[in-house]
Structure 1
Amino acid sequence: MKKIKGLIVLVFLLGLYGCSSDDPADETSKNILVNNIVVNGSNITDGNAKQFSVAVLPSNATDRTVTWSVSDESVAVISSSGLLTPMDNGTVTVTATANDASGISAEKVITISGVTGPPVFVESISITGTDITDGQPQQLSVEVLPANANNKAVTWAVSDALYASISNTGLLTPKLNGTITVTATATDGSGKVGQLQINISGVTPVYATTLKAENMLLWQRSNGGWPKEPHNDFSGYDRVQTSSEITKANNEKNNTDTTTDNGHTITEIRSLMSAYKATQNPDYLAAAMRGIDWVLEAQYDNGGWPQYYPLRNNYSRHITYNDNAMGNVMNLMRDIFLKRNNMDLIDASYVAKAQTAFDKGIQVILDTQVTINGAKTAWCAQHNAITLLPADARDYELASNSGSESVGIVRLLMTLDNPSSEVIDAVNKAVAWFESVKIVGYKLQDTGSDKVLVESPGNVMWARFYTLDDYTGHTYQALFNTFEPNEPFFCSRVADAEGGGPRKTIAEISHERRNGYAWYGNWPASLIGSEYSSWKTKHGI
């Protein structure tokens, strides 16, 4: 048995070493070396310079460049590009040597005749051209001296191909407004160059566009934010807008229906930054930054964000955690100051602003954690922006502790790299509250025509809303006084036959609300389990 075990270990070790990516042979195989070079060129019979070339094999060699040399520079000289310039009649060996580690080279013996005297090399090059003010191409010219130079050809280049391109005949084509340097280099081996600086203006750049980004520009309001409609689920951005939609968007530019509800404005900002990274279209960057300006302006001094801005005279002016509205904003702010997820592309001046906004946001989260009977618990879906107390929203969304929205808040706090003692306490207390209010042994069953609460041994779920400990002055104070703190409640719309206000069971509310809203869910399940355990381990709690 011991021999078998030893054999297994040996086979394992052989396999391990055989598969190791640290094997030098494996590294070498990634660098494909040259194995053959052929020099292309013929004898010179007219005493003039001739361009030589090479064929380098294999075609997929990692480095296919070569270095040129000649055996006798009194007979001919050769440039780095392979231009052979005769100096006298005679024979010379031209050599091309691979620049990689292969050591491969090739030679060709060339006979030179027709040279009637010593070659005349270029001594100076002057470029003639003017600044471009209309954004149009310009033909440049050169004066090469002396006039009797044997080879007066030049190669053209520009200092930055982003701003302009230049042809082999010297036609300069502008791309962007700016300043470039044009260079003309002699090809006779003399090494002489001429340069000219040219200022470019009058160019109207043409950038790539994307349908989604263009549609987002169309629907962006003048104040920098975006509305929730008509593309509440965002899919409408992916198609060509109808003529009536284009008219509507342009006519409503100055509307103030801008919001973070259902992920809007934040999603548009992120999409535009992604489009900007792909296209470099400055319109996308400018629109995203205007959106960020809107977000920063919308923040309350206490650190919270309303659902809509400018403020409206309804529940949307509350600090809004509902549908992770504030969580989405906070994650954007953090990406900006951490310069990640494309937010490194915006102006650096936003980093400090975003850091401040994020820190204030964390503080208001801590300040709005609900206390019940002296113990910290969770959060309402929305809090009054002045008192910071839980607040009503729609007529079936009354002040409460939320078994849903509180999950996103806790997750956000758990992502902080160096949580303060106050943050740690807030997380611990919230998780303890989730544990204390979980509903065991029941589930909401869809019968096809209705939803009913039925027994389900072992099932765990949470209610959307739980009662607070004080409803003094509330419209439904009398009804709430029949509840104990931390008790689930359910609501119809005020206009429903069942009437408004809290009910103890889901069966007591209207059929429409019972089937049209998420009253129960398992939102905190993974949070209070594996996520919470990992968080405590990470921070040694």
Structure 2
Amino acid sequence: MLKVTALIAALALSFNASAAEPVSLEGFSDAIHHWYNRTDKLDAPLHLQSDTRAIADNILLYQRNNGGWPENTHPQRVLSEAEKAEILAAKNQSDASFDNRNIYPQITYLSHAFQRSGDTQYRTAALAGLDFVLSAQYHNGGWPHSPDRPDRAYGDYITFADEVMPGVLSFLRQVQSGEFPFDYIPAHKRTEATQAIAKGDRLILQLQVKVDGAPSIWAGQYHEQTLQPVAARSYELPALQTWESVAVVEYLMSIPKPSSEVVSAVDHAVSWFRDNKIPGVRVEEFAIEPERFEYHTARIDRRLVKDASAPGLWARFYDLTTSEPFFTNRDGSRVEALQDVALERRSGYHWYGTWPSRLLTTDYPRWKATKVNAGGP
């Protein structure tokens, strides 16, 4: 799993490196992964990673006139003239999305391209992207999955899945700092970022789901008006979501001077993770004859097996009221075991994982010792 706070910090470090070093494309790893899954074009020609201008120009090309970007594009690809013409023709489309850790990696890369080249078109595009991020925030502090996307019923929902909320907020904290590569951003825009962060942080605390009266973790998405957990894609029913909630906790722990409310939210989430670990099981993957589906080609299958020596796992989805694991198919049908999930979703989605492990064993204890217990919020 990408830890967005660590990822953005790593990107910032890479920007301070020698200009001879390629700019990191790690921020696009999720988008690139989905592009390959969707197209199956594993041999697509690529620009050298050292060719910053070619990659930045691709990012400029994909940027919509509203300042955002569609998800799941591959910025390193060598585009044909026909592809370029098709992308240019789509400039007015309202298909930008924060899905799959999108938009803030493009702004970050363009900021670096501007710093290296001095080319003001990269600066202008990055600032337009920042304006898109800031304007997409609701008054209550949330960010939608895909603003103004008429093709997505769930596009307006406040979203934690794919690190939308923690990802955007982590990015804005970098902007707020005024540190390289964001030191060119005007002071009034950094002030806007500070205000957006304050609203977003308050909403995160407000949306922590209570189970039997105790704060637990977070749902993947919430209705932008009622603030109640809601379904997104057909196989993403309202649920407590572990993978997504780990990123939320990591973000909260990145806050320099956490309030007592932030500390309490982290403590409760960690307790929930500890209580809901599934011991003595592991996921076994095995090769199968490839089968092509719309969104991926299944080359492996998965099954849950008992193993007393295994460190244990967490399910991805837990019931909002009982904290019991559950699973779904693409048609939205809910099932209680991995074996009951159809191959398309069983092979194309991670239903179990060790996502909270590092948080519980390393990050949380260090945070408690160095930030909370040592200095206090």
TM (norm. structure 1) is 0.56
Indicate conservation of the 8 Å contact 1:367/1:388, yes or no.
no
Higher relative contact order (CA 8 A, sep 6+): 2
Tell me which residue corresponds to 1:356.
Answer: 195
Indicate conservation of the 8 Å contact 1:308/1:316, yes or no.
yes
**Counterpart among 345, 350, 354 of residue 518 in structure 1:** 350
- Number of aligned residue pairs: 309
Q: 1:277 and 1:441 mapped to 2: Cα distance?
A: 51
Are residues 383 and 341 of structure 1, via their aligned partners in 2, closer, same or farther at CA, if it must alter by over 3 Å? farther
**Counterpart among 334, 351, 357 of residue 502 in structure 1:** 334
Tell me which residue corresponds to 1:457.
Answer: 308
**Counterpart among 239, 242, 252 of residue 90 in structure 2:** 252
Q: Shift of the alpha carbon at 1:241?
A: 2.1
**Counterpart among 256, 261, 281 of residue 422 in structure 1:** 261
- Secondary structure at the residue paired with 2:194? helix
Tell me which residue corresponds to 2:320.
Answer: 468
Render the CA deviation track for 1:407-434: whole Å, top value 9, x for unaligned.
Answer: 0000000011111111011000000000
Structure 1 counterpart of 2:347, one-letter code: N
Render the CA deviation track for 1:497-529: whole Å, top value 9, x for unaligned.
Answer: xxx432111111212211221000000001011
Q: Shift of the alpha carbon at 1:395?
A: 1.3
Structure 2 counterpart of 1:222, one-letter code: N
Are residues 446 and 240 of structure 1, via their aligned partners in 2, closer, same or farther at CA, if it must alter by over 3 Å? closer
The CA RMSD measured in Å over matched residues stands at 1.5
Tell me which residue corresponds to 2:79.
Answer: 241
Are residues 250 and 528 of structure 1, via their aligned partners in 2, closer, same or farther at CA, if it must alter by over 3 Å? same
Are residues 271 and 540 of structure 1, via their aligned partners in 2, closer, same or farther at CA, if it must alter by over 3 Å? closer
Q: 1:341 and 1:412 mapped to 2: Cα distance?
A: 20
Q: 1:447 and 1:242 mapped to 2: Cα distance?
A: 37
More strand by share: 1
1:383 aligns with 2:222: yes
Which one has a bigger Cα radius of gyration? Answer: 1
Render the CA deviation track for 1:330-365: whole Å, top value 9, x for unaligned.
Answer: 111111111124111112211110000011111111
Identity within the alignment, %: 38
Structure 2 counterpart of 1:507, one-letter code: Q
Q: Where does 1:142-291 land on structure 2 (aligned, <5 Å)?
A: 210-229=53-72, 231=73, 234=74, 237-291=75-129
Structure 1 counterpart of 2:141, one-letter code: G
Q: Gaps (5+ residues) in structure 2?
A: 1-50, 289-300
1:365 aligns with 2:207: no
Q: 1:512 and 1:239 mapped to 2: Cα distance?
A: 28
Indicate conservation of the 8 Å contact 1:366/1:426, yes or no.
yes
Q: 1:319 and 1:356 mapped to 2: Cα distance?
A: 18
Structure 2 counterpart of 1:520, one-letter code: Y
Indicate conservation of the 8 Å contact 1:380/1:400, yes or no.
yes
Q: 2:353 and 2:60 mapped to 1: Cα distance?
A: 37
Tell me which residue corresponds to 1:18.
Answer: none
Q: Shift of the alpha carbon at 1:209?
A: 7.8
Q: 1:377 and 1:368 mapped to 2: Cα distance?
A: 10
Indicate conservation of the 8 Å contact 1:209/1:279, yes or no.
no
Q: 1:489 and 1:398 mapped to 2: Cα distance?
A: 10
Indicate conservation of the 8 Å contact 1:438/1:461, yes or no.
yes
Q: Where does 1:104-119 land on structure 2 (aligned, <5 Å)?
A: none
1:492 aligns with 2:324: no
Q: Shift of the alpha carbon at 1:317?
A: 1.2
Indicate conservation of the 8 Å contact 2:221/2:229, yes or no.
yes
1:340 aligns with 2:179: yes
Q: Shift of the alpha carbon at 1:248?
A: 0.8
Q: Shift of the alpha carbon at 1:447?
A: 2.9
Q: 1:213 and 1:320 mapped to 2: Cα distance?
A: 28
Are residues 518 and 452 of structure 1, via their aligned partners in 2, closer, same or farther at CA, if it must alter by over 3 Å? same
Q: 1:539 and 1:347 mapped to 2: Cα distance?
A: 31
Q: 1:401 and 1:410 mapped to 2: Cα distance?
A: 14
Indicate conservation of the 8 Å contact 1:440/1:458, yes or no.
no
Q: Shift of the alpha carbon at 1:310?
A: 2.1
1:301 aligns with 2:139: yes
Q: Where does 1:112-151 land on structure 2 (aligned, <5 Å)?
A: none
Indicate conservation of the 8 Å contact 2:95/2:149, yes or no.
no
- Secondary structure at the residue paired with 2:123? helix
Q: Shift of the alpha carbon at 1:311?
A: 4.7
- Secondary structure at the residue paired with 2:183? helix
1:536 aligns with 2:368: yes
TM (norm. structure 2) is 0.79
Render the CA deviation track for 1:440-477: whole Å, top value 9, x for unaligned.
Answer: 001111132332111111321100000011xxxxxxxx
Q: 1:451 and 1:342 mapped to 2: Cα distance?
A: 42
Indicate conservation of the 8 Å contact 2:166/2:248, yes or no.
yes
Tell me which residue corresponds to 1:182.
Answer: none
More helix by share: 2
Indicate conservation of the 8 Å contact 1:211/1:239, yes or no.
no
| Structure 1: 4+ residue segments shifted above 4 A | none
Q: 1:320 and 1:347 mapped to 2: Cα distance?
A: 28
Structure 2 counterpart of 1:454, one-letter code: V
Render the CA deviation track for 1:68-111: whole Å, top value 9, x for unaligned.
Answer: xxxxxxxxxxxxxxxxxxxxxxxxxxxxxxxxxxxxxxxxxxxx
Q: 1:278 and 1:522 mapped to 2: Cα distance?
A: 39
Indicate conservation of the 8 Å contact 2:216/2:272, yes or no.
yes
Q: Gaps (5+ residues) in structure 1?
A: 1-207, 470-484, 495-499
